[in-house]
Structures are given as C-alpha cells and as structure tokens.
C-alpha cells in the first residue's frame, strides 16, 4: 500500500460499467485529464478491450490497467452480483479506494451493485446507518442538491434526518452555500399533509434548529424554483422525481424542436433564435450535471449515468476530482459526525 | 327530486373553491357555456358575492344560485372539514349530484375535502375500495392518463390493480384508445426492482392479461414519451411526479424566456421565432389539461387546479361536460364491474 498525496489525484475507473463501456469511459477519462492534468487513472476491466482504446489517447500513457474479465451487468440481480463478487471491475475499483491506492472511484455501472459493494468495502461513516445518492441540478437561481436518488427505496425518519445532515454538509462544503436551506419532499406544504414517517422526520428536524437550517416541506413543483438548496426524500420518491424531471425536459425540448420545424417561417425563426436556443441547450444540458455522489461512506464513490457520452463521463470524473482536490470528504465526515452526535444527545 | 335528461347538462359548481373564487369560477362557467350552450349551472356559495358577478355575464341568466356562507378553506384540516360539514358550498354541490339535481360537479377547492365528501355522499363504485384522481397530460405522441394523483397516499396491491382497471376503462372510453397500454410507475423497468407491493401488483397484473393490457413497469422519464396510455401509481408518488413535471416545465419555459432576453440578436430572434414559440406555448399550456376526474364514484366529480384562471376552469367544466354528454360514467361502471368480477374469480 502506498501513501496517497494530492500532487497526483488518483482515480479508479470501472472501465466495464455503462452502456458504451469501455469506449465512453476511456474517452471521458481523456477529456477530464485535458481539464485536470494532475489526474492519473487506474482502469479496471478487460485489458484486451481497454488497451487498444487507451493507446489512441496521448494523455493517458501514464495510466494503469488492472485486468479482470468479470464485470457487473446492467440488469444483474443482487444474488448474481454477490456471486460474481469481489473480482468484478466495479468491485476492484472500489477496493482500490479502500486500500488507499486511489483517492476516488467513478463507475457508470449498475447503481444497486455500486451501492452494495461501496457499503461492503468502504463501510458507512460513523453516525450514518445508510449512505444516500446525492446529485446537483440547475434551478431558477442556481443549483439544488437532492438526495436520496435511489439507494434506499424505503426510509424511516432517522434515515431522512441523516440525509438532511449529509445534504446540508454537502451543500455547504461542495456547493459553497453558507447556510443551506434544507427541505423535505412531500405532497403538500402544510404540516398535516403527507406520510407519517415524513411528518415525524419533519417534526424532529424543526427541533434540530441548532444543527439544521430546516425549511419544512417542499412540493415537487418547487424543486427547481430556487427556494431550497437541499431537497431530502426517500430513494423511491427521489428517483421518481429525478426521472420525471428528466423525461419532462426531454419532452419539452423535443416539442420545441418540432415547433421550429413546422413551417418555413418558423425554420427561418430558428436561424435567428439559434443563439438563444443554444444558450438554453447549454444551460440545461443534463451531461453537465452528470455525476452523483454516494454520501455517507468512508471514501469517495461517484456514479455516472449509464447512458452518458464522454463529455458527461468526464463531468462525473470532475465531481470526483473536486471532492478529492478540495478535501471535501474529511470536512463532510467531521460536520456529519458533529451533527449526528448532537442528534444522539438531543433525541 | 327531478328527473335528469341530457337535453340540458346540469353542472354544480362550488363557487367558493379555489384561489380566486368566486370570480374565476363564474368567469370560467361563462366561457364554458359559450363553448357548450346546452349547459346550465347551479352555483353554491355566498349569494352576495356571486350574484353581482353573474349579472355581468349575459349567458348565465338561466343559472341558479344556492346560498351558503359555509365553505371549505384551502388549508382546512380534516377535522375542521368534517365539522363544517354538509352545508359548505363544496358539500352542497356534491349532494346535488347525489340527489340527481345535477349531472356532475366541478370544484377548485381543497382536494382532500373534495375526495372525503365525494366518497361520503356519492359512495364508491361496486368492486372499487378507494376512488382515485386521474388526469390526462400531453406526450410526444398524444396523451397519457395518470392515476392516482393524490387521493390515496399509501396503496396496497389491490388498490393499484383497481386503479389499473379504472385507468384502462377511462383511456378506452374517454380518450378513445382501443387497447390502452397500462403501466405501473416504478424506479426501474426490471422485474426485480422496486417496492414489494408494487412488484406484487405487477405480478398479478401480468396474470390478468384477459382483462388488462399490462405493459410492465415504467420509469418517470418515460411518462411523457408516448410508450404508455395509462400510468398507475400510489397517490404520493403520482402527486410528486405530477408536481415535479409541472415545476420542470415552468423552469424550462422561464429559462427559455431568459435566453431570448440576453442580447439584441436573441431579442430579434424572438420576433422571428415567435410563431414557433407560440405553438409550443399553446401545445404545452397546463390550463388546457386542467380538470382531474375522481374515478371510482357513483357520480361525476371533477377537480380543477386551485390556482387556475377562467380559461383553465372552463376546461375543467369541459371535462365534466364530456363525461356527462357521452354517458361515460355508466360505461366506465360496467367495464370496471366486469373486470373486478373477473378479478375476484381469478384470484
């Protein structure tokens, strides 16, 4: 085991994860290295498939490749994942972080498997019973961090409170928001509405005003209006909200395109409106917001969308890079521990 | 009690429900009557507030007004609603349907109260244990019907199956789709993913192929892509998905507007692109899709968005009008009863 320094940021990549692996992973790695030349990578996966692609990128010559023929499939069942186990490209990439051979790992593979292996090998932070998946999205005024996005389909009130604590720490440290406003996703803003465990979590969060800047309930239509910096939900609801937002954005963008294709005048209009539409497209590009962080682990694990391209994958690497470079994990662990200790005393 | 004929479609209106009641209700009623001259209305609410507004609309002179000073507030607690009880404008509007004095009712008031009173006075259809809120939304290829949108926050597998049966009947009769494709909202498309009661409902729906054209799970990003005609969810998830889609649409539309305001060239672009943007706006106008139907009751109750304007409220009246005019309720009841009877035998 070598000692890790921050002169070189070492990232483990699950080269076999995602719809177009290993091509997109390697292309994305090269793009990210152009932006952050102090990265080096270890690719995990089938050497025969990886090496020929790596060779075509000049800036990847200092990278390692650890060979394995085992990998987790996108639709693998949990039982299969456990059987294929520790020697899959995904598991090896995680173990490299556990063994301090890499600062962080990025995978575009099966989310459930990535969470299971991450919990197994990296273990959960002190005070946190379950890790959560968190990601940032654009809003009217900036960005919002939402969690959990699918790691824990069902949650009790304690899970939700722990997510609130981690989400607040994340928004504070990574997004640079001094006093992040934290909300719980619900079907109404009134205290009497919603599911019991969400109402109980809300009551407790109001009592924790010394450690949490809790804003109360938020409805789905307010997630992107800039009224909250952190939106907390169980993994089922968070995932449905995230996917529905993605689908709505796609639908609207396609409808807009069709509107511009309807007549000669609107095609002409498109030419004049191109710059505005381009700025819209760039601002809303989901690839820009690719890279979800697994919060609550003793290590940095970032999940890329499985269907993204190299630009999107490079952005997921960028998220991991920032987490390492600015030493977010330690600060996050300290802030989280302080809050969960307070919580234990208070409740 | 008088006998109702279809020569005059009689609609009860809760004149005191919604953010800008009674003004928006009355304006909307007048707009709808311009479209459907064979409607007559009974307005329920504060006569002093209602009559002066009605007088300014020539086409409303044949309408009745039943006076009551009691009404349900938007944020009323269930206990308050029950105490204020049967003489609120909302309850009286529902009772008029029960007593065959009106064909249908429309309210923009408190959803929970509307559902509670509707169940109490109209009773649930045979074979249906809980009514659901259903509404139609635009998709890439047409429309999708989604239910439940918030009547039942928690559902078991039987509720979900009953929603699927009602949703299929609704899509068949009201949307005119011969063989509607029905899906269950979940966090993955694979059979192994999701919450237990959703997986159980899915297994049962696959066994019911004689009565349900069940397509399997659907994720949030596919709701608007045209791959399903009916999307079934519990009320909590359905409501979060609906609201998140609304919020995303608002956010994108605002971002697009801002893009066109950035520079002189993009402002010029806006002028040329106006027609295309206008067609986009009209196609996506949420007021067009206003009017959610309470499915599973022995009567027609339609819920308008509380914050809509007169155009939106007129569309909610249009939904009620169509339900009555084309005698959808009887057909829906027969189709539902046939399916639930088959279901009882099969399971």
Q: Which of B184, B207, B209, B182 is nearest to B195 (CA)?
A: B184
Among B245, B260, B275, the residue with its CB nearest the CB of A248 is B245
Same domain, B137 and B262: yes
- The three-state secondary structure class of A57 is coil
Contact A234, A153 (CB under 8 A): yes
| Residue A248 in domain | yes
Do residues A145 and A123 share a domain? no
Which pLDDT value is given to residue A43? 98
Answer yes or no: do A236 and B240 touch at CB < 8 A: no
Query: How many C-beta neighbours within 10 Å does residue B193 have?
Result: 19
Pair B15, B70 in one domain: yes
Q: Is residue B341 part of a domain?
A: no
List strand residue ranges (DSSP E) for chain A, in order: 9-14, 39-45, 64-67, 104-107, 132-138, 143-147, 182-185, 214-218, 230-232, 292-295, 300-303
> Choosing among A273, A283, A284, which should be mutated to test the B contact, i.e. which has the most B CBs within 10 A?
A273
Q: Which of residues 177-216 of B touch A (CB under 8 A)?
A: 185, 187, 190, 192-195
Cis omega (within 30 of 0) for bond into A38: no
Q: Which of B143, B235, B248, B263 has the highest number of chain A CBs within 10 A, making it the mutation to test binding with A? A: B248
Per-residue pLDDT tens digits for B3-24: 688 889 999 999 999 999 999 9
Q: Are residues A123 and A198 in the same domain?
A: no
What are the pLDDT digits (tens) for B252-289?
A: 888 888 888 877 777 777 777 777 777 777 777 888 88
Residues of A within 8 A of B275 (CB-CB) are: 263, 265-266, 269
Residue B320 lies in a domain: yes
- The phi and psi torsions of B335 (rounded to 5 degrees) equal -60, -45
- Please count the structural domains in chain A: 2
The minimal CB distance from A236 to the residues B140, B195, B248 is found for B195
| Closest-CA distance of chain B to residue A140, Å | 6
Say yes or no for a CB contact (<8 Å) between A259 and B283: yes
Pairwise CB contact (< 8 Å): A220 & B240:
yes
Residue A38's domain is classified under what CATH number? 3.40.718.10
Q: Euclidean distance between the first and final Cα of chain B, in Å? A: 41
Residues of A in contact with B247 (CB under 8 A): 220-225, 245
Kindly determine whether residue B252 and residue A254, on different chains, have CB atoms separated by under 8 Å: no
- What digits encode the pLDDT tens for the residues B316-331? 999 999 999 888 888 8
Query: Chain B partners of A269 at a C-beta cutoff of 8 Å?
Result: 269, 272-276
**Does B260 contact A276 at a Cβ distance shorter than 8 Å?**
yes
For residue B333 the two structure tokens come to 């009841």
pLDDT at A34: 97
B343 lies in a domain? Answer: no
The size of chain B, in residues, is 347
Handedness of CA A24, A2, A124, A184 (dihedral sign): negative
- Peptide linkage before B148 cis (omega within 30 of 0): yes
B57: alpha, beta or left? (left if phi > 0; alpha if psi -120 to 50) = beta
Question: For A256, which of B154, B269, B280 is closest by C-beta distance?
Answer: B280
* Within a domain: A198: yes
DSSP bridge pairs for B136: B145
Q: Please count the other Cβ atoms lying within 10 Å of the Cβ belonging to residue B306.
A: 17
Q: What is the mean pLDDT of residues A128-157?
A: 93
Is A197 within a domain?
yes
Residues B160 and B198 in one domain: yes
- In this structure, are A136 and A285 located in the same domain? yes
Helix B310-325 vs helix B328-346: angle between axes, to the nearest 10 degrees?
Answer: 70
Diameter of chain B measured on Cα atoms: 69
What range does the domain containing B262 cover?
Answer: 129-288
ipTM of the complex: 0.89
Tokens standing for residue B43: 């307005």
Q: Which residues of B touch A221 (CB under 8 A)?
A: 243-244, 246-247, 250
Is there a contact between B292 and B303 (Cβ–Cβ < 8 Å)?
yes
> Based on the domain organization, do B94 and B174 belong to the same domain?
no
Which of B153, B248, B283 is nearest residue A245 as measured by Cβ atoms? B248
Is B306 in the same domain as B284? no
Confidence of residue B1 (pLDDT cuts 50, 70, 90): very low
The pLDDT of A221-231, averaged and rounded, is 96
- With CA atoms as reference, the chain A residue closest to B233 would be A240
In this structure, the answer to whether residues B48 and B15 fall within a common structural domain is: yes
Asked if A102 and A313 count as a contact pair (C-beta separation under 8 A), the reply is no
Cα dihedral value A322, A327, A329, A330, nearest 10: -170
The pLDDT of residue A101 is 96
A137 and A263 inside one domain = yes
Contacts of B232 in chain A (CB under 8 A): none
* Residue A66, beta-bridge partner list: A44
Q: Using the predicted structure, report yes or no on whether residue A300 has a pLDDT greater than 70.
A: yes
Contacts of B233 in chain A (CB under 8 A): 240
B179 and B94, same domain (yes or no): no
| Interchain contact, A251 vs B185, CB within 8 Å | no
Looking only at the bridges linking them, the beta strands covering A292-295 and A132-138 are antiparallel
Q: Could you give the CA distance from residue B311 to residue A135 in angstroms, rounded to a whole number?
A: 38
The answer as to whether B345 is a domain residue is: no
Say whether both A155 and A246 belong to one domain: yes
Cis peptide before A173 (omega within 30 of 0): no
């Amino acid at each position: 085991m070598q000692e890790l320094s921050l002169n070189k940021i070492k990232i483990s990549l699950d080269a076999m994860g995602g719809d177009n692996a290993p091509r997109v992973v390697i292309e994305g790695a090269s793009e990210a290295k152009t932006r952050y030349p102090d990265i080096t990578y270890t690719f995990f996966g089938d050497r025969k498939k990886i090496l020929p692609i790596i060779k075509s990128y000049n800036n990847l010559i200092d990278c390692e490749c650890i060979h394995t023929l085992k990998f987790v499939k996108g639709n693998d069942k949990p039982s299969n994942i456990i059987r294929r186990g520790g020697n899959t490209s995904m598991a090896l990439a995680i173990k490299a972080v556990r063994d301090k051979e890499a600062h962080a790992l990025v995978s575009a593979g099966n989310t459930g498997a990535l969470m299971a292996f991450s919990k197994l090998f990296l273990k959960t932070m002190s005070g946190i019973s379950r890790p959560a998946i968190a990601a940032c999205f654009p809003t009217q005024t900036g960005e919002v961090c939402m969690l959990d996005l699918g790691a824990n389909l069902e949650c009790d009130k304690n899970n939700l409170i722990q997510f609130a604590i981690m989400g607040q720490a994340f928004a504070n440290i990574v997004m640079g928001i001094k006093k992040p406003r934290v909300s719980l996703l619900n079907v109404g803003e009134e205290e009497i509405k919603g599911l019991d465990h969400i109402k109980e979590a809300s009551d407790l969060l109001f009592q924790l005003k010394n450690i949490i800047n809790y804003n109360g309930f938020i409805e789905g239509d307010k997630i992107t209006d800039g009224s909250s910096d952190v939106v907390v939900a169980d993994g089922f609801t968070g995932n449905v909200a995230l996917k529905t937002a993605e689908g709505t954005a796609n639908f609207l963008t396609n409808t807009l395109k069709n509107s511009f294709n309807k007549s000669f005048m609107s095609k002409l209009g498109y030419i004049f409106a191109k710059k505005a539409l381009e700025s819209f497209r760039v601002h809303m590009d989901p690839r820009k917001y690719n890279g979800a962080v697994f919060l609550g682990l003793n290590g940095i694990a970032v999940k890329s969308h499985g269907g993204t391209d190299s630009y999107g994958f490079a952005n997921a690497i960028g998220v991991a890079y920032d987490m390492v470079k600015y030493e977010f994990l330690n600060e996050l662990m300290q802030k989280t521990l302080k809050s969960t200790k307070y919580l234990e005393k208070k409740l």
